[in-house]
Every structure is written in structure tokens, then in C-alpha cells.
Structure 1
Amino acid sequence: MDARTHRLLHAPIGPTLLRLAAPNVVVMLVQALVGLIETAFVAGLGTDALAGMALVFPVLMLVQMISAGAMGGGILSAVARSLGAGRRAQADALPWYAAAIGLGLGFLTTLLALGFGPALYRVMGGEGASLAAASAYGGVVFSGAVLVWLFNGLAAVIRGTGNMALPAIVTSVGAAVLVPLSPALIYGVGPVPGLGIVGGGVAVLAYYAAGAVVFAHHLWAGRGLLRPASR
């Protein structure tokens, strides 16, 4: 049994829970801040753009919380139970299951959001320019919903091994990079024109794409506790 799993099973409960919980709280706060950062920059485009993003934000947060909390919690639990029971072969296979869940539910999210998103925004009160902004922003963000699901699913696998630090670091660094990237894409840099509210959506997807790549490399390059097969 590896040292990290041994500590999870035999170390004092109180300090162990605190050590595991602190980075996880950071991840949840930073992911919520990502949306607030985007909101602050989009606000500079005017009230119609801000109103449009306000219609998309609750749906995006719902997807984030389901993928990171509900489904992510199940993935994390499966990894932790397998390691705790000494079923290493089963634990090593779980990253592929997490990836399959992320791909499947990510594509389903895209289909639902692109198919019914504009109607939902209209029911929520969007009309005219605000509805157009919501449809544009939501169309970009939810076209890459797979990235959100993969990011949170693979992060859950890593947390299930007891490594809470890496997801917290990746999430925090990604948010720090998003601060200059988002306004650059929204408003433009030098001779490069801005993309408007669409640029905010591109910045969010870039954040999740980069994080998912880091998590996948960590898992499949054998840098962590698990050793998933290459196929």
C-alpha cells in the first residue's frame, strides 16, 4: 500500500479531513470566481451584454456543480474505495471511466444547451439584444461543455487518490491566467480586434482545456498514484 493511501486509512481523522478539505474549498471558490471575473470584464461591454451573461451564468454554474460535485463526488468516491480496499487494477481503470463519463455527458450538455438554450434564456426574461448576447455567449461556452466535464472528472480522479493539492494549484493558476486573457480576447490587444462577449466564452474554454490537459498528462504519464492503461 502506498504512503498516501496508508495515511488516509490510518492517520488521525480530524487533521486528515482538514488537510483534504482545505484545497477542495479553494477549488470551489476559485471556480465560482472564474464566473465572477468573466462577469466583471463583460460588464464593460454594456448592460445588454451583462444581462445576456447573467442569463447564461446560472446554467453554467449548474453544469460546473453537477460535474464537479455530484458526478465528481461519485468518481472520487469510487477511486478512494478501490484504493482503500486494495483493488489497484480497478482503481487504475477508473480514469478511463471518468473520461468516458465526461465525454458522454459533455456532448449531451452541448446538445441540450445549444438546442434549448435560447428558448430557456427567453423564458428567463431575455429579449432583444440581451437575448442575442446570451445566445452568443452560451453558444460558445456550451459548445465546449466536454472540456468542463473532463476537467472536473479527471480532477475528481486525482482527488480520489488523496492528492488535493494538484487540482487546487491548476485551478488557481488557471484563474490567474484568465485575468489577463479574458479582457484581451474581449476587448482586443493592440491591432488585434476583440471578440466581444464571445471572447469571454473562448477564455473560459481555454481555461478548462488547459486544465484538462494537465490532469490527463498527470494521470496517463504515470506521475500520480494510478497507472491507467494507455488504451
Structure 2
Amino acid sequence: MVKLEEWILGLSNPQGVWIFLAFLLGAIIMKKQPTQLLLQLQERKMRDIAQAKELLECTALSDEAHKLLKDYIETYSFKKFYGIMTTSYERKKLMVLAETHEKEITWVMIRRAFQNRYLVIEDDQLTVKLNRFDWASSKASSFFGFVVGIFSVLQLLVLSGSSQDYSLIELTARAIFATSVFLSAFFFNSLTWPYKNALVIKKILESEEVKPSKGTLSEADGNSPSSH
């Protein structure tokens, strides 16, 4: 147990902790300017949308220009409310899926699966494409999340048992570091959400007798890699 404590505490030595905190502080400071840039781009986008809506009311516009402006506004609105950038054709397909299975499938699930290109349109049908690499990546993320989570918990336990050996500042720094490591475990686990959501959607699509694409996971092998 003593060796375990020494190993865990060694990974969070004062030098490493302060380097990590300095990096975190630098990231927060550097984030300020990009945030301002994003706000400016957002304001510009809002002005463009407002101008497009005004132009739609112009009777002098040709039918083609009217259609392009309408699609531009709908694309932005869909992106704003659902977080998905799509074409008009893709929007119709996704909306049918969400409306048909509103109790089983949420827009968050659709967004994750669609943005990660698990949910695609082939032969005029929505289908879910998953392969061995997707399965392996999901399992790896789950494993790393579990390992990092266990390590952070052990680190916090060891730190709480030896808190009297550190000054208040050093103890706070180590606690922040351990907590940050613990939160990173959630990050690794979040990487598996798109895959898991895609599996749910795939099962529902297959229940409707939608033919799965070649190379995808079968319903029976939903939790194991497909064979090719």
C-alpha cells in the first residue's frame, strides 16, 4: 500500500502539478480572444440571416433566388436548433426519423450519429454504418475512461489520507489536478456516446426491416465487431 501511495503521489509531484495548472491557466487566457472572434462571427451570421429574410419579401426576386435564400435560412435555423448542418434532402430524412420514433430517438442521438457519419443516407434510405474500427474505438475509450477514473479516485483517496503532509496551497493544487483527471474520465466515456446512440438507431431501423449496409454490424452482433 505504501508503494502504491508513493507511485500515485509521484505522478502528481509539485512540479508536474504546477506545470498542469500553468497550462490550464494559459488555455483559459488564450480562449478569450477566440471567444470574441466567435461572437463577432455569430453577430455577422445573424445580420446575414436578417438580410436574407428581408430579401425574401422582395417580389422582384426570381424563383431560383427565392429558393436559394429560403434554403439558406432553413439550413441556419436547423443548425441553430438541432446542431446539425445538412442539405434540404438530409433534413427531410432526419425529420421523418425523429417524428416517427420520437419516443425512442432524440435529436441529440441523431446529431451524434449523423455528425460522426454513422447515420448516413444510401439508396434513398437512412442506414447506420458501423465497422470493426468503430467498435474498437468505442471499447478503447471505455477502457481508458475506466482506468483514468480508477486512478483519479485512488489519487484522491491517497491525498486525503496524507493531507497533513502538504501545505494548503500544495494540497489545493494536487486536489485540483486529481479532480481534473477524474473529469477527463467522463471525457473518454463521452467519446462512446455517438457509437452507442448509433447502435440504438440501427436497431430501430432494422426493426422496420431496413436493409443494413454491407460491412455494418448485425443486430445480433451489436456489441461486437462485424465480420467481413
Which protein shows a greater Rg? Answer: 2
Name which structure has the greater RCO, CA cutoff 8 Å, separation 6+. Answer: 1
Name the TM-score, length of structure 2 as normaliser.
0.29
Name the TM-score, length of structure 1 as normaliser.
0.29
